[in-house]
Amino acid sequence: MKITLLTGKTYNIEQQIDFPIKIVKSPRAKKLTLRIDTREHLPVLSIPRYCPQKKAVEFVLAHKQWINDSLNRLPCSKPFENGDTISLFGKEVTIVHAPKRRLGAKLETDQLLVSGEIEFLHRRVKDFIKKKAQNEFYKRSNKYAKKLGETINGVTIKDTKSRWGSCSTLQNINYSWRIALAPDFVINYLMAHEVAHLRHPNHSRCFWDCVASLYPEYEQGEQWLKEHGKDLYRYE
C-alpha cells in the first residue's frame, strides 16, 4: 500500500491492504483521525504536524476493518437517467426525457422534463438542480437569518466533497447541491444550522440552542444526515 501526503511525498507500507489512503498533515490537528471522503471513495487520515510515520501507519492498520466496512457501505455512483424518481426539495419527481422540448430542463408538477440528446440528460438535470437550489436555499436561509436579525451576503452552490454546508466570517454561506435531493426537513435543518453560524462560529451549546430556536425539529434532520447522507452521493 502507498500513503501519499498532500505535499506529494509517498510512503510505502509493507503490510498490504486493498485500498489507497490520503493523508492530510494539519498543524491544528491534536490527534490522529480518520474519515471517509464519500465523493472520492477514499479514507482520509489527518495527522498532527510532528506525528511519526510509524505511528500513523499503525493507526491506519489498527482501523483497517473500520475503513473496509465504511467503504463497502458507500453507494455506487450513477448518473441521472430517464425514468429515475428522485426527491427534489422534498417532493417526489420523475425525470422524463423530452427530446423535442426546448430550454434544457423544466419542472412540471411531478415531472422534470429534460430536452436535447439523451447523452446530455445527466448534465442538464444536475445544472437544473444547482440553479434551482441557488434560489431555494437563499430563500430559506434568508428566512432564518431575518428571524435572528442577521444578514446573509450571499449563497453559493458547490460540489463539495465532505461538507454539506459552510458559513464564512464574511457571512457567505455555501451548500452542496446534493442537499436538494434530501427530504424537506433535512434541508430546513441544514439551512438553520448554517445560518446559526452567523451568530455563533462554533458548535457550542449556545450554537445548538440557536439552531433549535430556528428549527425545533433539527435533531431529526441531523440524524438523517448521519444515517443516510452518504446515499446523496450516489449521483455523480
In the chain, where are the structural domains located? 2-73, 85-234
* Structural contact between residues 37 and 23, judged by C-beta atoms closer than 8 angstroms: no
Q: Higher-confidence residue: 3 or 117?
A: 117
- Could you tell me the CA-to-CA distances from 106 to 34, 95, 112, 114 in Å, in that order? 41, 10, 6, 7
More confident residue, 178 or 60: 178
pLDDT of 45 above 90: no
Summary mean pLDDT of the chain: 87
Task: Identify the pLDDT of residue 14.
Answer: 38
Q: What is the pLDDT of residues 86-95, one digit of tens each?
A: 999 999 999 9
Sheet holding 85-88, edge to edge: 85-88, 91-97, 111-114, 105-108
Contact criterion met (CB below 8 Å) for 220 and 189: yes
Share of the chain above pLDDT 70, in %: 91
Mean pLDDT, to the nearest integer, of 108-123? 94
For residues 224-232, average pLDDT: 89
Please tell me the class of the 85-234 domain. Answer: alpha beta
Reported residue count of the chain is 236
Output the pTM of the full model. 0.74
User: How many angstroms separate the CA atoms of 187 and 139, rounded?
Assistant: 12
